Structure 1
Amino acid sequence: MTQIGCVQSWSLGVTLQLILAVALHQGFATVAPPTTAPTTAAPHKEPSRPERGNYVVKGSNGTACLLASMGLQLNVTFSSLSQNKTVQGVVNIQPSLTNSSGSCDSDSAYLRLTTDAEKTNLTFTFTLNTTSNKYHLSEVSLSAAWPDMKDSISVRNNSLDYLRGTLGFSYMCREEQTLNVAQNLSINTFQVQVQPFGLSGNQFGAAEECQLDEDDMLIPIIVGAALAGLVLIVLLAYLIGRKRSHAGYQTI
């Protein structure tokens, strides 16, 4: 009986240690920033989730040279007329009210989104490195003249490095991201899939998922494996205990 008690105590101790290890790992995995994607957490205060829009840019031959599917939310800091102070305005890009255009070259592609109601012009520029066959979002520019603005704003950053992918493949990120463009502009993206180069027809190529999506999928796998290990340890401890118990009875 002493041996059974020792086995049970040992299994309980191991179980508690593993549960603690899993909890700590999950906590660290949740708060750790992505190692490869230069993005930051989105602001806590948000309006409703933006609608996902589908945008197509066609080349000179009439076939698609850039495809993008994403929800977009602008965070713009400006001087407010009604409040007479600097405020942050958050505006969702509404696909039904947005006109898309653009152009494609051998190593660059442009997507322009224009909304007449909000007087907003947003341009994404993608650049292809023809040596490595890798592309990325290299520039974002925004001009806006919203009704509550004292003065219209114009923002441009041509040294960005977001939405990185491989020629012939699309970039995909289901998780929400924030792209920091300038001190007075950031863009929240939702369910992004984009391919600015190497399209075959009017369909996306195979998707390369972002680090945020990979981390999100990894956590349930780790937790599931740890729980399966706990169940196995408890089952083995129980079987060993029963076996030793029967052996003791036979000796008597």
Structure 2
Amino acid sequence: MTQHSRKQPLAMGFIALLVVTLHQSFAATDAPPTVTPPAPPARPERGSYNVTNGNGTTCLMAQMGLQLNVSINSATMINATVIKTLWILNLQPNLTRSSGSCDSESATLWLSTDENKTNLTFLFSMNATSSKFYLSGVSLNATRPDTQVSESNHSLDYLRGTLGRSYMCREEQTLAVTSDFSVNTFQLQVQPFNLTGDQFGTAEECQLDEDDMLIPIIVGGALAVLVLVVLVAYLIGRKRSHAGYQTI
């Protein structure tokens, strides 16, 4: 009788351990795979890219750091849904070739690199009526081991500036090209028309830069008002203190 009572707890413990093990196994099988997004690369290096026309005159100048962001369909699927992975590529100026073309109403900058056979095109257009230029089109073609990337949009309106001047944006700026492709620019300055030699015209700064400069002005103004209020309060208090003295 005593021998039977010793075996029963041992059997119950074994069954409980088996149930816990099977539960963990099924839970691990049913759980969806974890997709870890890639760590973003470092800030891209700023490069200089010029375009010359047939007589050797510079017709487009651009200085900027470029980061390409492309959403790519992944082979991984969760609940029959295709998962997109974000591919981020920084263009390295020392490995990037630049060329292009200019005419009276448009200017094109072509950038190519052997890394992923990347070809990036910027198309600038001119509005003679308003004397403005703007980025009207961006195209990307690149080859990865797992897929071919091809994105383009020629109905854009970015980097708008005045003819004879350059457009500048020191802050990071995101240019959405398509639903799956965007370009981040860093320390950008560009002028596609009416260049004088190899020098940029007077810069017109983007709203992001103006907002960035406005914040310290507002903070400085608020501090100045605060100091003035404290000073006035101190003078008033000192005057009242002197007024309360009695002459002996």
TM-score between both structures, scaled by the size of structure 2: 0.79
Q: Which amino acid aligns with 1:186?
A: S
Q: Which amino acid aligns with 1:143?
A: N
| Superimposed CA distance per residue, residues 154-207 of structure 1 (whole angstroms, 9 cap, x where no aligned partner) | 111011111111001000000001110001101111000000011000111111
The CA distance in 1 between the partners of 2:212 and 2:194, in whole Å, is 28
Q: Which amino acid aligns with 2:157?
A: D
Task: Indicate the residue corresponding to 1:164 in structure 2.
Answer: 160
Report if aligned partners of 1:82, 1:148 keep a CA contact under 8 Å in 2. Answer: no
1:137 Cα offset (Å): 0.3
1:214 Cα offset (Å): 0.4
Q: 2:107 aligns with which of 91, 109, 112?
A: 109
Q: Which amino acid aligns with 2:234?
A: Y
Alignment of 1:95-244 (within 5 A): 95-149=93-147, 152-244=148-240
1:77 Cα offset (Å): 1.4
Alignment of 1:6-155 (within 5 A): 46-80=40-74, 86-149=84-147, 152-155=148-151
The CA distance in 2 between the partners of 1:82 and 1:231, in whole Å, is 60
SS at match of 1:249: coil
SS at match of 2:193: coil
**Where do 5+ consecutive residues of structure 1 fail to align?**
1-44
The CA distance in 1 between the partners of 2:220 and 2:93, in whole Å, is 39
Moved runs in structure 1, 4+ residues, more than 6 A? 81-84
SS at match of 1:181: strand
**Identity percentage of aligned residues:** 67
The CA distance in 2 between the partners of 1:223 and 1:76, in whole Å, is 38
Q: Which amino acid aligns with 1:145?
A: T
Q: 1:246 aligns with which of 237, 242, 248?
A: 242
SS at match of 1:118: helix
The CA distance in 2 between the partners of 1:124 and 1:93, in whole Å, is 14
Task: Indicate the residue corresponding to 2:7 in structure 1.
Answer: none
SS at match of 2:208: helix
**Where do 5+ consecutive residues of structure 2 fail to align?**
1-38
| Superimposed CA distance per residue, residues 198-231 of structure 1 (whole angstroms, 9 cap, x where no aligned partner) | 1000111111000000000011111111111111
Report if aligned partners of 1:110, 1:126 keep a CA contact under 8 Å in 2. Answer: yes
SS at match of 1:165: strand
CA 1:95–1:81 in 2, change beyond 3 Å: closer, same or farther? farther
- Which structure ranks higher in relative contact order (CA pairs < 8 Å, sequence separation ≥ 6)? 1
- Superposition RMSD in Å: 1.9
The CA distance in 2 between the partners of 1:122 and 1:65, in whole Å, is 19
The CA distance in 2 between the partners of 1:250 and 1:118, in whole Å, is 89
The CA distance in 2 between the partners of 1:158 and 1:170, in whole Å, is 21
The CA distance in 1 between the partners of 2:150 and 2:146, in whole Å, is 15
Task: Indicate the residue corresponding to 1:19 in structure 2.
Answer: none
